[in-house]
Amino acid sequence: MEIAGKDALVTGGASGLGLATVQALTERGARVVTLDLPSSDGERVAQELEGGVSFVSGDVRSEADVERALEAAGDLRILVNCAGIGPGARIVGREGPMPLAEFQRVIDINLVGTFNVLRLAAHRMAQLEPANDERGVIINTASVAAYEGQVGQAAYSASKGGIVALTITAARDLADHLIRVCTIAPGTFDTPLLARPRRALPARSGAGDPPPQAIRAAPGVRRSGLPRHRQPDAERRDDPAGRCPPDGSPLDRDLQATGDPRGSRRLIGTPGDPPVLLRATSGSAASWQRTKRSAVRSQHRTAAT
């Protein structure tokens, strides 16, 4: 779609991803309306981003508020849904089960709110004349948590998973109206949603992987494997530090079979730990941990035989 000269609506546009989207659209010549809570910085953002940016205070769950934003947007061609919340709570915590009202609130804002804006905006778009063989585009915001949620993200992951599942149905429903629907699933990045005290994340190396010492010290990563005294004599003799299996060992053969040359492996552990090798191509702390667990399982199978 040609963005210049088009009318756009961005929910949650006063901060984080929504604000960055507003800035990107205005830089490309779009007229943007932001819909955010009255307590947000939406008014200030609209004043700072001079030219083509206006702010409407409201709640994405409110049909009346959304209709006011759509009226301000005029001939809406672009909708980007960024509004959402992400409180964390375990299903069963120290104070008992997660309050059902808290789960429902996250679903209402993230999933129901997204659908509410989508349906009303699509109705407006469907009444416009096509421009370059399309009437509009709708972009929803899910999260990587929709596919791999972490501890305490039951409500958040469920809400984002709902947005992912909604995408293909909405795209098929609205295809006859020449309206495209797509969804993005960002990973973790610095936004006000995450602006709360938290433990430092492991540092990353230039190759994009956390260095072994950072993973070793990272919270939640537990050492496991065979005790030092149970490692084969040959392994202790060939590698006194206990950090690398000898050539020809079952674990070494397994890794060789995957096409992983010895030079591309990384080691985790301290002297005295069992040998745990990780692929240098792992892209995240989570994938490093999965690879580590797989290697440890191989070691246990070797010991059993």
Q: Which residue has the higher pLDDT, 86 or 227?
A: 86
Q: CA triplet 168, 166, 173: central angle to 5 degrees?
A: 55
If asked whether residues 80 and 125 sit together in one domain, one would say yes
Residue 161, domain member (yes or no): yes
Q: Which residues pair with 9 in a beta bridge?
A: 33, 79
Neighbours of 57 (CB within 10 A): 17
**Most distant CA atoms of the chain, gap in Å:** 78
Q: Which pLDDT value is given to residue 290? A: 56
What percentage of residues in the chain have a pLDDT greater than 70?
62
Q: Which pLDDT value is given to residue 189? A: 78
If asked whether residues 186 and 300 sit together in one domain, one would say no
Q: Which pLDDT value is given to residue 267? A: 38
If asked whether residues 115 and 150 sit together in one domain, one would say yes
Asked if pLDDT for residue 102 goes beyond 90, the answer is: yes
Q: Which pLDDT value is given to residue 262? A: 41
Least confident window among 23-27, 133-137, 297-301: 297-301
What percentage of residues in the chain have a pLDDT greater than 90?
58
- Report DSSP letters for 125-173, one per residue: HHTSPPBTTBSEEEEEE--GGGTS--TTBHHHHHHHHHHHHHHHHHHHH
Contacts of 240 (CB under 8 A, 6+ apart): none
Asked if pLDDT for residue 64 goes beyond 90, the answer is: yes
Residue 221, domain member (yes or no): yes
Domain range for residue 81?
A: 7-194
Q: Which pLDDT value is given to residue 248? A: 53
| Amino acid found at 285 | A
Least confident window among 31-35, 162-166, 298-302: 298-302
If asked whether residues 293 and 170 sit together in one domain, one would say no
If asked whether residues 118 and 243 sit together in one domain, one would say no
**Predicted TM-score (pTM) of this structure:** 0.64
CB 111 within 8 A of CB 141: no
Asked if pLDDT for residue 70 goes beyond 60, the answer is: yes
If asked whether residues 255 and 118 sit together in one domain, one would say no
If asked whether residues 111 and 156 sit together in one domain, one would say yes
Asked if pLDDT for residue 196 goes beyond 60, the answer is: no
Kindly state the DSSP code that residue 108 receives in the 8-state scheme: I
Residue 205, domain member (yes or no): no
Q: Is 237 helix (H, G, I), strand (E, B) or coil?
A: helix
- Predicted confidence (pLDDT) per residue in 214-257, tens digit: 333 334 433 334 444 444 444 444 444 444 444 554 544 444 44
Asked if pLDDT for residue 106 goes beyond 70, the answer is: yes
Residue 46, domain member (yes or no): yes
Contacts of 10 (CB under 8 A, 6+ apart): 18, 21, 22, 25, 32, 33, 34, 35, 79, 80, 82
Contacts of 192 (CB under 8 A, 6+ apart): 15, 16
Buried b (16+ CB within 10 A) or exposed e, 204-223: eeeeebbbbebbbebeebee
Q: Which pLDDT value is given to residue 193? A: 60
Q: Which pLDDT value is given to residue 216? A: 39
Residue 1, domain member (yes or no): no
If asked whether residues 164 and 267 sit together in one domain, one would say no
Q: Which residue has the higher pLDDT, 260 or 39?
A: 39
Q: How confident is the model at residue 266 (pLDDT cuts 50, 70, 90)?
A: very low
Given 22, 70, 140, 156, the catalytic residue: 156
Asked if pLDDT for residue 40 goes beyond 80, the answer is: yes
Q: How confident is the model at residue 260 (pLDDT cuts 50, 70, 90)?
A: very low
Residue 22, domain member (yes or no): yes
Asked if pLDDT for residue 72 goes beyond 90, the answer is: yes
- Report how far residue 285's alpha carbon sits from residue 206's, in angstroms, rounded to the nearest whole number: 14
If asked whether residues 104 and 139 sit together in one domain, one would say yes
Q: Is 190 helix (H, G, I), strand (E, B) or coil?
A: coil
Q: Which pLDDT value is given to residue 49? A: 87
Task: Give the HSE-up count for residue 234: Cα atoms under 13 Å, Cβ half-sphere.
Answer: 6
Q: How confident is the model at residue 296 (pLDDT cuts 50, 70, 90)?
A: low
Which domain CATH number covers 101?
3.40.50.720
Out of 194, 224, 254, a domain closes at 194
If asked whether residues 137 and 15 sit together in one domain, one would say yes
Q: Which residue has the higher pLDDT, 152 or 272?
A: 152
CB 226 within 8 A of CB 52: no
Asked if pLDDT for residue 123 goes beyond 70, the answer is: yes
Number of domains the chain is built from: 2
- Report how far residue 70's alpha carbon sits from residue 123's, in angstroms, rounded to the nearest whole number: 10
Residue 206, domain member (yes or no): no
Q: Which residue has the higher pLDDT, 189 or 196?
A: 189
Residue 147 appears among annotated catalytic residues:
no
